Each structure stands twice: as C-alpha cells, then as structure tokens.
Amino acid sequence: MAVEMTRARFDELVSDALDRVPAKLAAAMDNVVVLVEDAHPDDPDLLGLYEGIALTERDARYGGELPDRITIFREPILDMCADADEVVHEVAVTVVHEIAHHFGIDEDTLHDLGWG
C-alpha cells in the first residue's frame, strides 16, 4: 500500500536530501536544477531521472546550455515504500543516484557501489 504524504512534505524530503550532500560536492554541481514531479509520463515506475550533459562530458564548447535536470518522481517512491521512514531513505538514495549521473557516474558503477 502506498504511503500517504503531502506534496509539501515530499518536497521537504528532497530538500533535506540535497542539504546532506557534502559541501564540496554541492559546490561542484554546475548548471543543474532539481525538480519533483508526480510520475514520468512514459515510465510510471521510474524513481528519478537525470537529463543533461554530465560534468565529465563538458568541454570548452560547453556554454549557454539550459540547466541539466534532475527529476525525482513522487508517486512511484510513495507506492514502493511501506512507511514514511522508508520514503525518507528512498528519496535520499534517489537524489544521490541522480546527482551521481550529473558527475558522470553510470548505472553499472552505481549498482556496484550499492546506489542502484
């Protein structure tokens, strides 16, 4: 059964997860915005999505680009969790996972590191 949680509370959890990113990593994030959406229109089970040009792929020609987007999807996270504590954990994992993509870390490496 899905956990019931207001949009405002879920947004707070995403903000809290971002606040826990180490200062040096947060300072290195560049031209990226973090958003919360209800669900991905094409993949309703997707928890998070990074869209953009990873820092490792940027070169001297990079400039004038729209911000990269990290989207955290509220409904699938609430659907998969048994209680509010599990939501807190899953939001934190999903935020870290998507930030890692911004830094150029691929899915296989994230899974190997336990952030899959």
What are the pLDDT digits (tens) for 11-47? 999 999 999 999 998 999 999 999 999 999 999 999 9
46 near 73, Cβ under 8 Å? Answer: yes
Give the span between the Cα atoms of 74 and 19, in whole angstroms.
18
Quote the pTM value. Answer: 0.91
53 near 62, Cβ under 8 Å? Answer: yes
How high is the pLDDT of residue 1?
Answer: 65
Strand ordering across the sheet containing 32-37: 32-37, 68-73, 48-51
What are the pLDDT digits (tens) for 37-75? 999 999 999 999 999 999 999 988 888 889 999 999 999
- Residue 116 confidence (pLDDT) above 80: no
How high is the pLDDT of residue 71?
Answer: 98
Average pLDDT (85-109) is: 94
Q: How far apart are the first and last CA of the chain?
A: 23
